[in-house]
């Protein structure tokens, strides 16, 4: 098949999933054409067979305070679909990609059938899409898609309820390459982060308000005081991987709470570095306000890292309470710190939860299980080509 994929090229889960999906499809012999304003970060610099990138051309003009990207993307999608004879377009994150894909499909109608698949990822439904300025166009463009998928059951229900959408929605979970995400000892890296053999708590995100990164810092401070009262001092480093609008405030908070020496702000990191950090982590913490899946929790499980997270959105579909980690109410810093103390004090518990996490990742979320679900969906849509249009 010849598949066009549009996603955000920057850091963030929907861009990662769109890019990884394209790479996996190319490995399976399909031609993949990414269409966006920049090459997705996950593609890296190495040219890959059957993977192509088409940049959206943006014409600038002094009149445009807000250059119309939606229109430019629609034109590019149409152009690439014609030139490359695409079989379908798959967009990740509804806003504004689903509108552009709809426009491209309608423009092409006299010439060719171009099914559109829209995968919803999270805040396109739960936050941004609900804003009155986006609500009706988001609902319209989702409903106009030839197929809709969500990355968790939670998000499917949220879409049906919030947007009153009655069309069928397929849940296709996010996935990991379990050969890539696996625990590999790395003593040198561990020593560079925790020179005195401290325990390592990892957080990875885009540091947006929805991630509540201040809770990671507050949890660390509480853990430190619990630890000194418990008589078993193990020492701890909190490795904050990523960057975004909440970083400066979190740095100030670490200083105010007197834990700045225990926190490392590593900044944005390439995928291989995140994988290596996961491999040396003792615990992943994800205290999000809302999370429709939590891809990094799955990556952590594949690397045998227990997860402490909030009981929100799709996280309970990924992190199995008591089996692969512990879930708490939003803002329950005390509960998270107590659980962290217990886990960091008990290596056999950590290993048991870690191993179970990998088992669950292997059983439910591997590329081998998930990619064929997308392939089947694509084939069914392409087969509808005989419809009069």
Of residues 267-286, those binding ligand GMT (CB under 6 A) = none
Q: Does 174 help bind ligand GMT (rule: CB under 6 A)?
A: yes
Identified binder of ligand GMT from the candidate list 134, 207, 293, 365, rule CB under 6 A: 293
Q: Map residues 151-170 to x or -, x wherever contact with ligand GMT holds by CB under 6 A.
A: x-------------------
- What is the side-by-side strand order in the sheet with 307-310? 263-267, 236-242, 199-205, 283-286, 307-310, 325-328
d(CA 27, CA 206): 28
Structure tokens at 330: 């939003």
- For 36-92, the three-class secondary structure string (H helix, E strand, C coil) is ECCCCHHHCCCCCCCEEEEECCCCCCCCCCCCCHHHHHHHHHHHHHHHHCCCEEEEE
Considering the rule CB under 6 A, would residue 310 count as an interface residue with ligand GMT?
Answer: no
* Structure tokens belonging to residue 239: 């490795």
- Work out whether 172 is an interface residue with ligand GMT (CB under 6 A): no
Which of 190, 181, 152 is CA-nearest to residue 305?
181
Residue 12 binds ligand GMT, judged by CB under 6 A: yes
> Out of 263, 295, 319, 344, which residue is the one contacting ligand GMT (CB under 6 A)?
295
d(CA 256, CA 239): 18
Stretch that binds ligand GMT, among 55-63, 83-91, 289-297, 367-375 (CB under 6 A): 289-297
Determine, following the binding rule CB under 6 A, whether residue 97 of this chain makes contact with ligand GMT. Answer: no
Q: Which of 11, 7, 21 is nearest to 205 (CA)?
A: 11
Q: How far is the CB of 296 from ligand GMT (least distance, A)?
A: 7
Is residue 291 a contact residue for ligand GMT (CB under 6 A)?
yes
* 311, 314, 317, 322 alpha-carbon torsion, rounded to 10°: -20
Three-class secondary structure of residue 193 per DSSP: helix
* CA end-to-end span of the chain: 21
Distance of CA 5 to the CA centre of its chain: 16
Closest distance between ligand GMT and the C-beta of residue 203, in Å? 14
Q: CB of 72: closest distance to ligand GMT in angstroms?
A: 21
Interaction of residue 292 with ligand GMT, rule CB under 6 A: yes
Residue from 141, 149, 290, 310 binding ligand GMT (CB under 6 A): 290
Interface characters, 197-236, with ligand GMT (x: CB under 6 A):
-------------x--------------------------
123 contacts ligand GMT (rule: CB under 6 A) = yes
Q: Which residues sit at the interface with ligand GMT, rule CB under 6 A?
A: 8, 12-15, 17, 121-124, 151, 174, 210, 290-295, 313
């Amino acid at each position: 098949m010849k598949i066009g994929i549009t996603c955000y090229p920057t850091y963030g889960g929907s861009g990662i999933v769109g890019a990884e999906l394209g790479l996996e499809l190319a490995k399976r012999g399909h031609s993949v054409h990414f269409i966006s304003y920049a090459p997705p970060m996950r593609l890296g610099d190495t040219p890959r067979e059957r993977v192509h990138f088409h940049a959206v051309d943006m014409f600038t003009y002094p009149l445009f305070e807000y250059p119309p990207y939606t229109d430019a993307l629609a034109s590019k999608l149409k152009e690439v679909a014609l030139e490359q004879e695409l079989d379908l377009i798959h967009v990740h994150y509804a806003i504004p990609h689903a509108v552009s894909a709809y426009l491209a499909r309608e423009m092409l109608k006299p010439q060719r059938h171009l099914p559109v698949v829209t995968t919803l990822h999270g805040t396109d439904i739960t936050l941004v899409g609900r804003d009155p300025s986006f609500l009706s166009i988001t609902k319209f463009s989702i409903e106009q898609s030839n197929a809709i998928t969500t990355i968790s059951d939670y998000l499917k229900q949220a879409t049906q309820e919030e947007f009153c959408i009655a069309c069928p929605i397929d849940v296709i979970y996010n996935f990991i390459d379990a050969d890539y995400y696996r625990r590999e000892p790395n003593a040198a890296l561990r020593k560079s982060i925790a020179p005195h053999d401290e325990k390592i708590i990892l957080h990875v995100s885009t540091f947006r308000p929805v991630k509540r990164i201040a809770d990671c810092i507050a949890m660390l401070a509480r853990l430190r005081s619990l630890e000194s009262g418990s008589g078993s001092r193990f020492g701890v480093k909190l490795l904050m991987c990523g960057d975004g609008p909440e970083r400066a405030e979190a740095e100030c908070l670490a200083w105010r709470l007197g834990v700045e020496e225990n926190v490392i702000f590593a900044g944005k990191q390439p995928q291989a570095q995140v994988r290596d950090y996961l491999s040396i982590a003792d615990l992943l913490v994800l205290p999000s306000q809302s999370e429709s899946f939590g891809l990094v929790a799955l990556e952590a499980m594949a690397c045998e890292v227990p997860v402490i997270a909030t009981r929100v959105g799709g996280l309970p579909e990924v992190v199995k309470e008591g089996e692969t980690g512990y879930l708490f109410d939003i803002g329950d810093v005390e509960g998270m710190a107590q659980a962290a103390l217990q886990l960091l004090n008990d290596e056999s518990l950590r290993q048991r939860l870690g191993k179970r996490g990998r088992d669950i990742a292997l059983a439910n979320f591997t590329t081998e299980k998930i990619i064929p679900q997308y392939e089947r969906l694509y084939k069914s849509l392409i087969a509808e080509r005989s419809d009069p249009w």
